[in-house]
Structure 1
Amino acid sequence: MEEYTIYTRQSVLGNLPPEKGPCGDAIYNKGTAPYVRASDTQTVAACFEIGSILSQLNQNPQGYDLTLPYDCGDGELKHKQINVLWGDEDHQTICMLRCDVTHIVNAEQSQRQVLENALTLAQEANRAKTEFLSAMSHDIRTPMNAIIGMTDLALDTEGKSPELTEYLGIIKNSSLHLLTLINDILDMSRIEKGQLTLEQTSFDLATEIDNFCSRYQLLMDKKQLHFKHSVELRHSSCIGDAAQLQRIWDNLLGNACKFTPSGGTVGFEVRELSPKSSKIGWYQFVISDTGIGIDRDSLPMLFDPFYRSHSVIDKHIEGSGLGLSIVKNIVDYKGGTITVASSPGEGTTFTVTVPLHFDMEPGQQDESLTGAAAAANFDFSGLTFLLVEYHPINQMVAELILEKTGAAVVIAANGADGVEKFTAAPPETFAAILMDIQMPVMNGYEAALAIRASRLPQSQSVPIIAMTANAFAEDIKNSLAAGMNAHIAKPIDPQKLYETLAEYL
């Protein structure tokens, strides 16, 4: 027969006999029910049935515990803990101990609240930092456009002394380096906000790799490095984001080149792994070098934002510490993996594995325009472009770049001014419109929509090209959604501008 025996504080201190009786529901009613809230009665009672207790003890031979919150009547919430364990080696007796743990639970809750408050403050501080860096980096692109644009124009000016040419070259290289840092900060801002987007377009992987290696061969030759690259592909026609893929290679191979002294070797191996399905292939990219290597303590933090290893800092090598973090995030977004193996003085090897969809119906690539065409080949004489640009120096830079092709330029200081100049001009006045985005009075999106909505003969056919510091995938989508035909990021690349105009003219 199953019986219960209850020892209370009063019975022990008063040397009184314990209360005994048949089990039934007594285990719950006598020892637990007074400390259970009405809303929890049914659930807790089930936990104290003999069958349930035996099942739990069989799963947890060392015992287990339950913590029950209860209202003692004065509005204060307290907590009782019930410890359940075997009372003898033969498992014929069950021992249950009850104690008040209110102070322990309250202390834990207070500590948890402190940690949650600290986490909230840290998240708010991180969000404020991210928003500040994003806004600052975006705003810096505007003067950077002026610096790079004016430097290019100065370099094209005849009659310069070799010394001045050297100075301008240093300004140009430093500006491009600063622009890279700005883009990295903007990208990290997008990543932290969960706004990284990957395009799904058709491309030929072998062609992308060949163009990439050809470009890097020049850099390797300049640094007197041996560049070894190999490609093993069964499927070359893929669907994915080729630009982000190239960014992964660019960051890793750029680092390999940066941290390998002259005479060293840099490797880039590409191989297609065994496919896991008929539609998706797995591709592995191995970037190796014989450079300075990475110390063991730095390896676990290598992909943290802004982290730079001691060897990099000690050698005063430039960098923001964001490149590898961005690479890691892109690889993660793609559903791939990245690993690193390195030893100081023995070089470093990064292995990236990413999935790419096979392109079952590869199309023909448009080769009507190539980046090799020189700006001198573009002649826009007799054409007039409407430049909608808020910043005076950027107005000057764009105007000078366009006038080099023989074109005439009409400038509008904001979106509203641009719409007014377009609607007031005779039909066919403007061959194309170059539209900034962030402007007072009316922004570029609103201006483009207003132009497309106007019922003038040329409102639907005139090419509108975004020319802006808003340089991300979602910005491009927003521009196209507003009725624009193309998107050019600042600082303005004259060659890209000429090619884009030629394509739509």
Structure 2
Amino acid sequence: MENSKKLNPTTRFLIYSFIGLLIFSIIIFSLLGIYMSRKSKKAVYEIGEIYMSGMNEQMSRHFETVIKLRFSQVYGIVSVVSTDKIDKELYEELVYRAQIRDFNYLALCSTEGNFETLCGQAIYPLNPGPFVDALLQGERRVAVGVDAAGNEVVLFGVDAAYPMQNGEKSIGLIAAVPLEYITEFLSLTDEGQLMYYHIIRSDGSFVIQNSNTELQYFFQQLQKQFDSSTNETPVENSVKKFGDALKNRQEYATTFDVNGEERQIYGVPLPYSEWYLVSVMPYDALEGTINTLSSQRMFITLISCASILFMLVLIFWRYFSMMRCQLHELENTRQMALEASRAKSEFLANMSHDIRTPMNAIVGMTAIATAHMDDHKQVRNCLKKITLSSKHLLGLINDVLDMSKIESGKLALTTEQISLKEVVEGIVNIMQPQVKAKKQSFDIHVEKILSENVWCDGVRLNQVLLNLLSNATKYTPEGGVIRLSLYEEQSPKGEDYVRIHINVKDNGIGMSPEFLEKLYDSYSRADGTRVHKIEGAGLGMAITKYIVDAMEGTIEVESELNKGTEFHITFDLEKAATTEEDMVLPAWNMLVVDDDELLCKTATNELKSIGIKANWTLSGEMAVDLVVQHHKKHDDYQIILLDWKLPGMDGIQVAKEIRNNLGNEIPILLISAYDWSEFETEAREAGISGFISKPLFKSTLYHSLRQYMGVEAENDQVANQIDFSGRRILLAEDNELNWEVARELLSDLGIELDWAEDGQVCLDKFQKSPKRYYDAILMDIRMPHMTGYETTKAIRETNHPDALSIPIIAMSADAFSDDIQHCLECGMNAHIAKPIDVSELTRILKRYFQQSYF
């Protein structure tokens, strides 16, 4: 009952609206019918006028064409008959030329307007004044005349100076044809036509009159207008306007009532004459059509109105059923929202545990470190665990924030030039602690990567790789194997793009077919005792799938329980326009030793591409045998690449054995994905000459090997000498605690820091500083007085000599892609997210400080 009361106002509104709409529709459609009827009548009149205009124009053009033809024939006579001939011969030839051109009359005209007939009966114009004047002015002119028998003829006069019998020179040659010639080719006398024609002179008199005389009164009125003796006689306004148009030789249309019926009259001047073509069309012939059209329109309007009203009735009755459907859909939406809410509640419950775990470790380790301040080993161990827990906690927070961005549709990509080599090397460095903690094997394969520099969102690509490798590490038991592979092929997008394939494979716990179906759903984690001790937000794969889709890539997965998982990702990335270095080394013999056959093959292929001849083997024992055999043949290997972890004899043992047999002359380089610092001392003692970090990109091999082959570049030597001592940085940071953290971290690197408490202070200090006083500016974003964006823009616009060259690096907790893009658009050079990663900040500073050396 309560629901029906709530619906009553709506029902009443709909009913009243429907009735009002019904009345309004009837009125509007009725007015529309009346209005359209009047507009139709006017439109038909205008169409008739357009039709008559077109017909008159067509008749005028036809008249002009025929008259031009006749004039050209007369000019043809003049052009071929010379005035130098004897008079009799001259006249005979003129007559002959006229007759073969079908002219019935031929005459010469004197200056006084006298006609001397050469052929046919004597002719003269009915209105000689304008005709003779035109000839005197050298113009061609057509006119109506009569012959001696009183027959009307059409005269064609052109200027011509022939001798006349009275000794004068003629001013024109006149050829003539009967008047019927005009009426026939213009079809002016055809009967049974809806529209008929008259040809009149400028004074209203007829040249050719059609047999239809219903407009006799109209033309009488028109002639009265030009008759000076009857000027006092009033004429109708339409006749007067028509007469004025005649005087000015203009086109004009009007209507005239004939015995209660309207006639539409249209006039147009004819060329080469004083004539006017007048067309007449009975308006009543169209009146019936207009009335019929109006009746049909009114009928159709009423039918349309009835149809619309019928549809409104249907809509009205359908409204209630639609409301019921909407209520049903709303209920379903509510249920889905409740399910989503429950999923997020479960997610928060899991997150409560996952967040508290590293937080408890941070708090506990801090307390332990505080209690054992004198035990440096214990404090160092606590700080190490605090660092790992902090990074894990930061990863959880980043996942939650990224998912929030994705659900709000605000996650954007920032396209920048990146090096695939640097990306993979960074990923390897990040993954080393996790892999080492679980004693897992981490293999990296790079095959045929020719385009190392590409355009893409480097941050998001890192995020995708870290998500996949972190999951592989988490869900692979101790001693398991994780493999990262990269290779390239031609992109279907064209030569400016390259298709990069990325494979992440593990032999971990795998996933069930049921879970694979919801792998990319938000807040989803595999259930069961298999993963209850593994921390995670359940958002990593949802974020990964979103990023891959946003980058227009593809992601595929194959997994089997207790056997492992393999992800395959493809990206079509635009190649970066970089100046390629000519990577060629001396053709030395080299031996590659690694238990991974695929790595050996790809490494030897890359070495071959830079000019080195390489062999490979899979075991340390075989490597020692090969080195000894080649030494005995006096064909020693000149460099040996040796994997650290080999079955049987490891890399360090193999190096010792080679040194015992061959001495210290041959460089032995250790290759590994593990941290060199962990075994550097032992390796040096065993005779290892250096270290190359996996993955083995072409550029990695080239730059690492050339220092042992006597081709090290001067720039490399300079770069290796760069340190941060004496460097001065201006730090814009409004939080004193953050300032203290940054000061301690950077001071350990030998950098001098100046503190600016806000953006305005930063701008003032920079403007007052001498040239090259500051080497860089670290800029916070959210500051009072001036934000980091505003401060950067202001610095770039100053007249300071370093305004455009000084590196400005954003150091902010605003770390999403659109935040980074905004920083770059405002004039900053790079971005680093808080909390500060010292190694990342060091890498960025080193890059910009190196540039100052060259």
Task: Give TM-score, length-normalised by structure 2.
Answer: 0.40
CA drift at 1:325: 1.2
Q: Over aligned residue pairs, what C-alpha RMSD do you find?
A: 4.5
Amino acid at match of 1:78: W
- Find the partner of 2:758 among 414, 418, 423: 414
**Counterpart Cα distance in 1 of 2:787 and 2:807:** 17
Amino acid at match of 2:469: L
**Preserved contact between residue 413 and residue 818 of structure 2 (Cα < 8 Å):** no
Q: Which residue of 1 aligns with 2:571?
A: 354
**Preserved contact between residue 37 and residue 69 of structure 1 (Cα < 8 Å):** no
**Preserved contact between residue 271 and residue 283 of structure 1 (Cα < 8 Å):** yes
**Counterpart Cα distance in 1 of 2:389 and 2:503:** 30
**Counterpart Cα distance in 2 of 1:274 and 1:485:** 32
Q: Is structure 2 residue 548 aligned with structure 1 residue 331? A: yes
SS of residue in 1 equivalent to 2:730: strand
* Per-residue CA distance 1:198-251 (angstroms, 9 max, x = gap): 454555656755775577567545533334454443754463324433432222
**Counterpart Cα distance in 2 of 1:208 and 1:410:** 32
Q: Is structure 2 residue 666 aligned with structure 1 residue 451? A: no
Pick closer, same or farther for the CA change 1:411–1:305 going to 2, 3 Å.
same
Q: Is structure 2 residue 748 aligned with structure 1 residue 404? A: yes
Amino acid at match of 1:259: Y
Q: Which residue of 2 aligns with 1:184?
A: 399
CA drift at 1:299: 2.0
**Counterpart Cα distance in 2 of 1:78 and 1:427:** 81
CA drift at 1:103: 4.7
Amino acid at match of 2:472: A
Q: Which residue of 1 aligns with 2:477?
A: 261
CA drift at 1:276: 3.2
**Counterpart Cα distance in 2 of 1:207 and 1:406:** 26
SS of residue in 2 equivalent to 1:78: helix
**Counterpart Cα distance in 2 of 1:39 and 1:117:** 41
> Residues 376-387 of structure 1 correspond to what in structure 2 (within 5 A)?
378-381=723-726, 383-387=727-731
**Counterpart Cα distance in 2 of 1:306 and 1:292:** 20
CA drift at 1:468: 1.3
Q: Which residue of 1 aligns with 2:312?
A: 70
**Counterpart Cα distance in 2 of 1:187 and 1:78:** 47
**Counterpart Cα distance in 2 of 1:417 and 1:343:** 60
**Counterpart Cα distance in 1 of 2:419 and 2:767:** 43
Pick closer, same or farther for the CA change 1:398–1:361 going to 2, 3 Å.
closer
Q: Which residue of 2 aligns with 1:483?
A: 827
**Preserved contact between residue 294 and residue 311 of structure 1 (Cα < 8 Å):** no
Amino acid at match of 2:776: A
CA drift at 1:459: 4.0
Pick closer, same or farther for the CA change 1:103–1:409 going to 2, 3 Å.
closer
Q: Which residue of 2 aligns with 1:161?
A: 376
> Residues 285-304 of structure 1 correspond to what in structure 2 (within 5 A)?
285-304=502-521
Q: Which residue of 1 aligns with 2:305?
A: 38
SS of residue in 1 equivalent to 2:535: coil
CA drift at 1:268: 3.1
Amino acid at match of 2:511: I
**Preserved contact between residue 238 and residue 356 of structure 1 (Cα < 8 Å):** no
**Counterpart Cα distance in 2 of 1:426 and 1:205:** 39
Amino acid at match of 2:481: T
**Counterpart Cα distance in 2 of 1:286 and 1:484:** 35
**Counterpart Cα distance in 2 of 1:229 and 1:483:** 37
- Find the partner of 2:454 among 234, 239, 245: 239
Amino acid at match of 1:165: R
**Counterpart Cα distance in 2 of 1:325 and 1:407:** 41
Amino acid at match of 1:176: K
Pick closer, same or farther for the CA change 1:380–1:39 going to 2, 3 Å.
farther
CA drift at 1:489: 2.0
Amino acid at match of 1:188: M
**Counterpart Cα distance in 1 of 2:769 and 2:498:** 54
Q: Is structure 2 residue 690 aligned with structure 1 residue 345? A: no
CA drift at 1:436: 0.8
Pick closer, same or farther for the CA change 1:421–1:227 going to 2, 3 Å.
closer
- Find the partner of 1:492 among 812, 823, 836: 836
SS of residue in 1 equivalent to 2:317: strand
More deviation in 202-211 or 469-478?
A: 202-211
**Counterpart Cα distance in 1 of 2:741 and 2:449:** 47
**Counterpart Cα distance in 1 of 2:818 and 2:750:** 34
More deviation in 408-417 or 268-277?
A: 268-277
CA drift at 1:394: 0.5
CA drift at 1:110: 4.0
Quick one: higher RCO (CA 8 Å, sep 6+), 1 or 2? 1
**Preserved contact between residue 488 and residue 501 of structure 2 (Cα < 8 Å):** yes
* Per-residue CA distance 1:354-406 (angstroms, 9 max, x = gap): 32345576645999799x989xx63333x543221111110111122233344
**Preserved contact between residue 287 and residue 350 of structure 1 (Cα < 8 Å):** yes
Pick closer, same or farther for the CA change 1:354–1:316 going to 2, 3 Å.
same
Task: Please say which structure displays the higher CA radius of gyration.
Answer: 2
CA drift at 1:174: 0.6
> Residues 95-114 of structure 1 correspond to what in structure 2 (within 5 A)?
103-112=320-329
What 5-or-longer segments of structure 2 have no aligned partner? 1-299, 349-354, 582-698, 704-714
**Counterpart Cα distance in 1 of 2:320 and 2:750:** 83
**Preserved contact between residue 202 and residue 237 of structure 1 (Cα < 8 Å):** no
CA drift at 1:192: 2.9
CA drift at 1:322: 1.7
Amino acid at match of 1:252: L
**Counterpart Cα distance in 2 of 1:197 and 1:110:** 36
**Preserved contact between residue 780 and residue 812 of structure 2 (Cα < 8 Å):** yes
SS of residue in 1 equivalent to 2:312: strand
**Counterpart Cα distance in 1 of 2:321 and 2:503:** 53
Q: Is structure 2 residue 810 aligned with structure 1 residue 469? A: no
**Preserved contact between residue 730 and residue 776 of structure 2 (Cα < 8 Å):** yes
Task: Give TM-score, length-normalised by structure 1.
Answer: 0.64
> Residues 1-16 of structure 1 correspond to what in structure 2 (within 5 A)?
none
Pick closer, same or farther for the CA change 1:345–1:313 going to 2, 3 Å.
closer
**Counterpart Cα distance in 1 of 2:758 and 2:519:** 44
Pick closer, same or farther for the CA change 1:40–1:422 going to 2, 3 Å.
farther
CA drift at 1:327: 1.1
Q: Which residue of 1 aligns with 2:388?
A: 173
Q: Is structure 2 residue 549 aligned with structure 1 residue 307? A: no
Pick closer, same or farther for the CA change 1:317–1:418 going to 2, 3 Å.
same
Q: Which residue of 2 aligns with 1:97?
A: none
**Preserved contact between residue 419 and residue 447 of structure 1 (Cα < 8 Å):** yes
Pick closer, same or farther for the CA change 1:373–1:166 going to 2, 3 Å.
farther
**Preserved contact between residue 417 and residue 455 of structure 2 (Cα < 8 Å):** yes
Pick closer, same or farther for the CA change 1:332–1:312 going to 2, 3 Å.
farther
Q: Which residue of 2 aligns with 1:438?
A: 782
Amino acid at match of 1:38: C
Q: Which residue of 1 aligns with 2:736?
A: 392
**Counterpart Cα distance in 2 of 1:210 and 1:501:** 18
CA drift at 1:288: 2.3
* Per-residue CA distance 1:72-119 (angstroms, 9 max, x = gap): 8xxx9224xxxxxxxxxxxxxxxxxxxxxx653442244346667888
SS of residue in 2 equivalent to 1:487: strand
Q: Which residue of 2 aligns with 1:47?
A: none
Pick closer, same or farther for the CA change 1:354–1:420 going to 2, 3 Å.
closer
Amino acid at match of 1:70: L
**Preserved contact between residue 434 and residue 467 of structure 1 (Cα < 8 Å):** yes
**Preserved contact between residue 369 and residue 499 of structure 1 (Cα < 8 Å):** no
Pick closer, same or farther for the CA change 1:111–1:296 going to 2, 3 Å.
same
Q: Which residue of 1 aligns with 2:464?
A: 248
Q: Which residue of 2 aligns with 1:319?
A: 536
